[in-house]
Structure formats: structure tokens, C-alpha cells
Structure 1
């Protein structure tokens, strides 16, 4: 049976549990390594230097609105700092208990739940990586929102000024810019760390020397119609600052502001994986509507970034049993090829054969390993197609997913 007939509705109101992360059906023993300290008292101005959210030293990654509220998948902040302590203040529009990932330089990601109208200290002299550079060196702090439905509002960033020269430092953007457009598969839905465990994350992190924005949200269609509670499709929503979440509807109603594309670097590469929800029979999108919507989206992208190359991924819809084996299901293959053939700057990344049937989890989305496979193959595709090398970023690049430490220490078996 085709997966599209089995797929459960991906309602935009669905939110994951904050209590645990499951790994192969079992609770992960240390679900949130690290943790940040919620400060109970205002920061002492004689010991801390506080910057407003608007400070030029703070670089916002992904889509943030004019109130410094984050949207879509894996948005974050990044800045250099001197000193031994860093604290971040969160505004009233921060989701209750949202899980954020943070790190120093290229160290392993650490995780913390934060909440609204509070200040958390993320960095101390004991934070892993802080002892690897000289005391007065500029270090890099990065924080990302893991979940696609939740978000944070930045109100301030503080660094201790007890150490000589304690301050924030503005960082240069990386040389390239990548835009990812998609739905739940690109947003990392049902993966261990969601946005930080999807193929989109693994791909752009693997490039190393590239900034990126992941404009993806579960349940959304390409065609502009209601799909699983998402009132609009990506042909409309991609040009808006916010996603289609419940919190966006509370702030913006049915008319979210347009995204100011000048806030981000012009994209050198756009990668699109969308159509899974369109293909589901419950949403009733026709092949004609899908094709015409894809052509419109490509045209809109090209008008915004006329020099960008665009990659369209073929869709995978799980597997079905056939005889004594499994066969991969597809969707809109002819329409996708017609779109690719229509534009000289659009390229097809054929995902056929990358995943095995057990790379699809019980919730009909790729497992963490399945997402890694797609990211790895796409990296090689981009390297062969455009000559992009990878793994050369300021954190060493490398295709690293959070907490995916799998190995076998037993040699006598």
C-alpha cells in the first residue's frame, strides 16, 4: 500500500514531549547534556556588560522578525566574545520550555530548556572548549532553536566585564549562503533533536563554509491551500517572515509580514524537498496544481536571487512489500522532472536508492540514520555538480549531528 494513504495528519499543533528523547524506542540516558543556569537576580552591571537584541555584534541565523522572535526550523544566533561568561535574556514571546542547543566554537552541542522573561547563563570558564584558547582570545558562541514549532525572543546578551576586554565581537559571514525549503522531513520532525537531526542540517553543516536558512514546517504543502492545519502553502508562506504555527497565528493572525530578503545574504544555492503532503490523497492536490505551483515557486526564487542555482529533490514515500523484498514509493516524479527541464538553473537530486525500508521510522519519517544518508549523498552531489568543497568552516565544518555517538568497543565477537 502506498505510504501516502497511510500517512497520519501532520497537524501544525503537534508538539514533541519535553520530558525525554527516545532512541530506538528507549529513553536516551542523558537526553539534554549540558544545561544552562537560570539566573534569579538581575545581572550586576559592575560585573556584566549587556547588549540589546539589536546590537550589531549579534548575528541572527535563519528568519527572525523585527521583535527578534525566531521562526521556522533551526534559527539561531552567533557572535564572538571575549571574557569567561555569557548570558542570554529571553523575551516574553519565548515558548515555554523550548529546547535550545548551544556550543563554543566547534565543540559538541549542549542543550538546555529555557522559558520566557528570564536570563540564562550558558557559558562559564568550565564550559567545554573554554580552556582551549588563551584567556583573552575571541571565542565563538552559537545557539540554535531545535524545534520547528517553538521559538525564542532575544531580549539581550551579556558578557562578564571582570576580565580585561570582556565584550561581544562581530563575526564575518561565511562565503556562501544556502536556502532550504521544505516540510516536516526537512524540519527534522520525529528525529532525536528535530531541526538539528534532519538532512537539511547535516547537509549545510557539512558544507562548513556556508550560512544557511531552513524554511521548512511540518504538514505544509507546496500548493497554496490548507494542508494538515497549515492554512497556506509554501508558494505563499516562503515569502513570509513566519511559519504557519499556532504561535504565528496568535501574533500575526492571517496576514504575517513579508520576509525582507535583504536581511540575509543572497543565496548561492537553494535546495527544495516538498510535495509529500501535496501527494497525500487527503489533501487533494492535483498533478497540474503541483506542477504549476512548483513553477511559481522557482520563478519567485529566481526573482529574489537571480544568480542562485536550485536543486529539487525527488520525493520518497516510504516502501511497500513486493514479493519477498521492499520497493521504494515515489511521488510526482513526472511533474518534478518537467519542472527541472523547464529551467536551466534547476537540477534534480534523485534520492532513489539512498534509503532502505528500515530507514523510515514508525512515524513515516526518516530515522536519524536515514537523514544522515540523504545529507551525505547530497554533499557528494553538490561537490560533483558545483565543485563545492566542504568541511572548511570556522568550526571545522564536518558533517556532525548532535549526540550521534554510535560505536562498538567489543573486539572479540
Structure 2
């Protein structure tokens, strides 16, 4: 009997280590592997042989329909990431994923019936890589594929602003704190929701096109030039560009390039920027690309406009964010990054130009 008990404990421990502890412990639940066809992931992900799914880029999200009264997930993280949980279109909670595999309740006490889950990563790749092993449902409950996936997709390439850093803060003096980052409230996802589009954020705080924020030389060795080509933000494994194809790509780089000395020359900046555009063309074809000059980026505005004017590319476009729209008091958050109010203003200023470039009508709806 002692040997049997020891073997049972060992089996349970192995199950917890590999993400299946909840299923082993509770036989009155339905466990569905994370790579189920009923789950729609949006963003760069890696499907693992055991049915798990790993990812780290900011803003990655999944959608599925489920029956029953509750839903949980079994997941781990190399560091500490946060997720928004939406049920039937409403934000119900924020959950944390950190350390070894554990079961995390996403929603409960829902009432039996069919519900829609949207789970979206708030924090960015440098905060860690998340692995989801399975979803846990009530006994006899099931997952079903969503039937209303958007027909449009916008990809945003950028830095901390694109990540939504500071959207949960109104304190400009707050030093770096990942807990005030919420990609759902960044201008990119706001724009995508307005135009009924999926979105991906290929973004990382402090990154530039030519130079990163904290570098001591005018041209960094490793910037968004290189990160754009990766499956993971924090790993140099190449991405095959086979999981989705955006209808529009928007580049929001330049703030970090010119925030500190030494700064890149116009030629150095544009050489790196053009390499990013070239990669987009090689991977996505002749997709429309909008080059967005950042807030307060007078030099970048001049450089990018000149580049686009001389490119001879009818699908390469330029627009500049207007700093005069931003109120230094109510529109800025942590470390002088735009807060949610600032991001909404940025999105609203870009909507007419996107509508023009893409020939998408402007629906009568709140920008949020």
C-alpha cells in the first residue's frame, strides 16, 4: 500500500510539472489541450508536440466558445505576465501567469449555456514567455470554434508606445513598472477594434529602427530590424511568416532613435528603417505600409516623409502624429508615455488616414 501511495504521488507531481495536474486531481472536469482547433490564436505562437502553445509577444490573444458554468487554464511562465479576460464581450478580470504550471480560474459562476472567451496578453515579451497547456471546463462541457472572426488584420511594428506601456497610469514620474502596461488600451488594438480587424503587435519597449534607447552608439546591433523576423520577441528563432497575413502594416518607430545622444544620422536611420520595410515586403508582399512619425519626432517626421516621397512605392504611406493634440496633464502616464486617454487621441487622429489608404468606411462607433 505504501508503494502504491508513493507511485500515485509521483504521478501527480509529474502531471503538475507538465501542466496536467488539474486533470489528474479532478476527474469531474473536462480538459482540452491548448492546441485544440476550437481555439483561435492571433499572433505568433509555437505549437508544441505535447499539445501546449507558447508565445511572448505583446497583445497576443485567443478566442473560443465554451459551454458550462466556468473555465480555467493550466499555464506557466518563464517570468510574470498579465492577461485580460473577457467573457461574452465584457472584461471580467485580470489574471497573472508566473512560474511553474498552475491552474488559473478565468471565469466562474457564469450560468450554464454558451459563452465566448477572449484572453489577451497585456504585457510584453521581455516580461517572459507564457505556455498554455490546457483549458479546464465543467464536466461534459465543450469548446467550439468562434464563427465571427474578423476579415481584416492590422500589424503594428513599434516600441513601448505600441506595447501600451503606461496606459494604466496617470503619473508621469512613475519609473518603469510592467504592471501599468496594458496592450489592450494601446492605439493599435483601439484602431483594430474600430475597423473590425484582428491585430498583432510586433513591439518591444526601448527599441528603435536604427538605435535603441539605452545604446551608447548611434546604430545598435540588434533593433526591430532583427526582432521583426523572430517567432518570439525574446528568442532569435526565425519566424516562418505562415500563421497570418495582415492587410495593413503600420510602423511606429523613431522615438527611441532620437531620445538620447549619440543619435543616428538621417542616412543611418533611414537605412535601418528601409530594411524593416524590405522585410515586410519580402514576407507579406505588396501590402500597404503606413510609416507613422511619432509624437514630438520632428526629425523623424522630416526623414520619413522624404523617404516615402522618393520611394516610388504606391503602397508606402506617411502620416505624422500631432503633438498639439496631447495634453501634458491628462494624456500622459508612466515615464511620460501616453496613457489610455492619450492613446485614444492617437487612434482617433489616425482613423481618417487609414480609411483613406485602405478604402475602409468609418463606422459610427465609440473609439475605445
User: Same fold judged by TM-score > 0.5?
Assistant: yes
Aligned to 1:169: 144
Q: How many residues align?
A: 321
What value does the CA root-mean-square deviation take over the aligned residues? 2.6
Aligned with residue 123 of structure 2, among 147, 154, 158 = 147
Aligned to 1:369: 341
Distance 2:113 2:185 in 1: 34
Aligned with residue 225 of structure 2, among 210, 231, 235 = 235
Aligned with residue 118 of structure 1, among 76, 99, 102 = 102
Kindly provide the CA deviation profile for residues 71-123 of structure 1, in whole angstroms up to 9, marking residues without a partner as x: 221112211112222111103x3433x32110112113521223331011212
Distance 2:145 2:160 in 1: 33
Correspondences of 1:11-50 after superposition (within 5 Å): 42=23, 46-50=27-31
Q: What secondary structure, in the 3-state scheme, does the structure 1 residue paired with 2:194 have? A: helix
2:319 matches 1:335: no
Aligned to 1:263: 243
Kindly provide the CA deviation profile for residues 243-265 of structure 1, in whole angstroms up to 9, marking residues without a partner as x: 2xxxx3xxx4xxx111121112x
Aligned to 2:317: 347
Structure number with higher helix proportion: 2
Q: What secondary structure, in the 3-state scheme, does the structure 1 residue paired with 2:267 have? A: helix
What TM-score results when the alignment is normalised by the length of structure 1?
A: 0.71
Distance 1:54 1:40 in 2: 18
Distance 1:285 1:335 in 2: 12
Structure number with higher strand proportion: 2
Closer, same or farther: CA 169–398 of 1 in aligned 2, 3 Å: farther
Aligned to 1:406: none
Kindly provide the CA deviation profile for residues 328-377 of structure 1, in whole angstroms up to 9, marking residues without a partner as x: x6232221012222121012222124323433446121132111100122
Aligned to 2:157: 181
Closer, same or farther: CA 79–311 of 1 in aligned 2, 3 Å: same
Deviation of the 1:57 alpha carbon: 1.5
Q: What secondary structure, in the 3-state scheme, does the structure 2 residue paired with 1:222 have? A: coil
Q: Which runs of 5+ in 2 are unaligned?
A: 1-19, 169-180
Distance 1:83 1:235 in 2: 45
Deviation of the 1:45 alpha carbon: 5.7
Aligned with residue 312 of structure 1, among 291, 302, 322 = 291
Deviation of the 1:227 alpha carbon: 4.4
Aligned with residue 388 of structure 1, among 354, 360, 367 = 360
Is 1:71–1:241's contact at 8 Å kept on the other side of the alignment?
no
Distance 1:48 1:231 in 2: 50
Aligned to 2:60: 75
Is 2:213–2:260's contact at 8 Å kept on the other side of the alignment?
no
Aligned to 1:95: 79
Closer, same or farther: CA 124–142 of 1 in aligned 2, 3 Å: same
Q: What secondary structure, in the 3-state scheme, does the structure 1 residue paired with 2:166 have? A: coil
Is 2:39–2:62's contact at 8 Å kept on the other side of the alignment?
yes
Is 2:30–2:137's contact at 8 Å kept on the other side of the alignment?
yes
Distance 2:212 2:288 in 1: 29
